[in-house]
Amino acid sequence: MFDLKFIRENPDAFDAALARRGEEAQSASILSMDEEHRAILTEAQNAQARRNEASKMIGRAKGQGNEEEAQALMAEVSELKGKIAELEEQERTVGEKLNTLLMSLPNAVYDDVPEGDDEDANEEVRTWGTPRQFNFEPKEHYDLGETLDGMDFERAAKLSGSRFVILKGAIARLERAIGQFMIDLHTGEHGYTEVWTPALVRESALLGTGQLPKFGDDAFTTDTGHWLIPTSEVTLTNIHSGEILDEAELPIRMTAHSQCFRSEAGSAGRDTRGMIRQHQFEKVEMVSVTTPEQSDDELERMTGCAEEVLKRLELPYRLVKLCTGDIGFGARRTYDIEVWLPGQGKYREISSCSTCGDFQARRMKMRCRPKGEKQTRFVHTLNGSGLAVGRTLIAVMENYQEADGSIRVPEALKPYMGGIEVIGGEA
């Protein structure tokens, strides 16, 4: 969400920022509504002040025995009461219209974000690891999983429809091991506090992080007015919504291993086989709340924490900086980590790490201030996958597969596998 004061003082810069996002200029519409809104507020305040003044004058007129003046003042107060109610309704209507427009606009990106319309313009930052050379044709994860009787898409579809999976046996344990390994790494070595949060939230939580109002079609809702979280970024970031935090306590770093739910609106025909794009999946999320001065360094740190998961699992990956046409709605700068999938013969996204500046903090009214001072300012928020658990399972299966269809367990995961070192082969 944007600062109206900034738009008033810098309309051209604001429109230029939107243009980088491929959005039309909006400053004229916003400032017109803002002017109308402020005019209504001023008129309502003046009417209220006159009503208060006239109410006091009624008592004085009656005290002086001037009944005619008292009656005239009472009639004026009654008229003002109706006018104030009308103005308050107008103020609500215009204010909601202005707020809806502001809430629907994407965040302004940093100057170093590459220009481009789609992922082809993303900028490669670095690569790590060398893709394994196979002496056989590597299979995709769903072929491996079905052969090992560890993935069942057909029965999952019977239960729930498309884009669901049932995991069984050692494959189910492998996914659980991956999630546990990530949480242990982030809490034990990276300084994140583990948090367990609800999977159902109120609409205000999704408004706060930017999934609503624009992306409601990609989320599941219930008949109770709750929404299923598309990521625990929603709950972790909103924990401190509406609060004023002590700057000495920042940064706050939190991580959660949660179920996530997405309708995958607009993804028809994409990744229809396998676990790449599911309606229900698991993810380990990292969220940081920082001062404005800390956020740039925190993004680099958070990205490094996500990368470390892949390094420990010895999975080749590349890091890319997203361009203006591919970056997320609420982000100012985003790094995507793409892991090598030999079954597909290409890199696929496994993590996004983003800094949102004060965009989310404004929406959820989250501020900070130095201890003992009165002046507050908005915090900065960051989020990153550390990592998507299901996609990490895919990467492990495809990179550690053998010619006989078995899967070796990475060294980092062996302590979590109860002695299983090879799935589908001799232990």
Residue 190 vs residues 9, 185, 353, 415: alpha-carbon distances, Å: 41, 7, 15, 19
* Over residues 335-340, mean pLDDT: 98
Mean pLDDT of the chain: 95
The CA distance from 32 to 38, in Å, is 10
The CA distance from 254 to 252, in Å, is 7
Q: What are the residue boundaries of the structural domains of the chain, listed by start?
A: 4-103, 119-423
Chain segment 144-185, per-residue pLDDT in tens: 999 999 999 999 999 999 999 999 999 999 999 999 999 999
- Choosing from 253, 262, 363, 367, the catalytic residue is 262
pLDDT for position 74:
86
Instruction: Specify whether domain 4-103 bears CATH 3.40.50.300.
Output: no
Query: Has residue 265 got a pLDDT over 80?
Result: no
277 is catalytic: yes
Chain segment 229-238, per-residue pLDDT in tens: 999 999 999 9
DSSP 51-77: HHHHHHHHHHHHHTT-HHHHHHHHHHH
- Choosing from 43, 69, 123, 349, the catalytic residue is 349
232 is catalytic: no
Burial 37-55 (b: 16+ CB within 10 A, else e): beebbeebeebbeebeebe
The CA distance from 416 to 90, in Å, is 61
The CA distance from 34 to 46, in Å, is 18
Tally of residues, the chain: 427
pLDDT for position 427:
40
Query: Has residue 187 got a pLDDT over 50?
Result: yes
Tokens of 410: 């990475």
Which DSSP letter does residue 401 get? B
Q: Are strands 280-290 and 252-261 parallel, antiparallel or unpaired?
A: antiparallel
43 is catalytic: no
Helix axes 295-312, 169-188, angle to 10 degrees: 140
Flag the least confident range among 61-65, 104-108, 210-214, 247-251. Answer: 61-65
How large a percentage of the chain has pLDDT more than 70? 99
pLDDT for position 425:
66
The CA distance from 105 to 26, in Å, is 9
DSSP H/E element including 321:
strand 317-321
- Choosing from 247, 385, 391, 398, the catalytic residue is 391
Collapsed DSSP state (helix, strand, coil) of residue 260: strand
CB proximity list for 278: less than 8 A, separation 6 or greater: 163, 164, 165, 262, 264, 390
- Choosing from 176, 277, 377, 408, the catalytic residue is 277
Query: Has residue 246 got a pLDDT over 50?
Result: yes
Chain segment 38-83, per-residue pLDDT in tens: 999 999 999 999 988 888 898 888 888 887 888 888 888 899 999 9
CB proximity list for 94: less than 8 A, separation 6 or greater: 33, 36, 37, 40
Partnered with residue 258 across adjacent β-strands are 283
Chain segment 348-401, per-residue pLDDT in tens: 999 999 999 999 999 999 999 998 899 999 999 999 999 999 999 999 999 999
- Choosing from 352, 354, 362, 398, the catalytic residue is 352
Which DSSP letter does residue 326 get? T
Pick among 3.40.50.261, 3.30.930.10, 3.40.50.150, 1.10.150.450: CATH of 119-423: 3.30.930.10
Partnered with residue 92 across adjacent β-strands are none
pLDDT for position 55:
86
Collapsed DSSP state (helix, strand, coil) of residue 318: strand
pLDDT for position 388:
97
Tell me how far the alpha carbon of residue 367 is from its chain's centroid. 18
Collapsed DSSP state (helix, strand, coil) of residue 253: strand
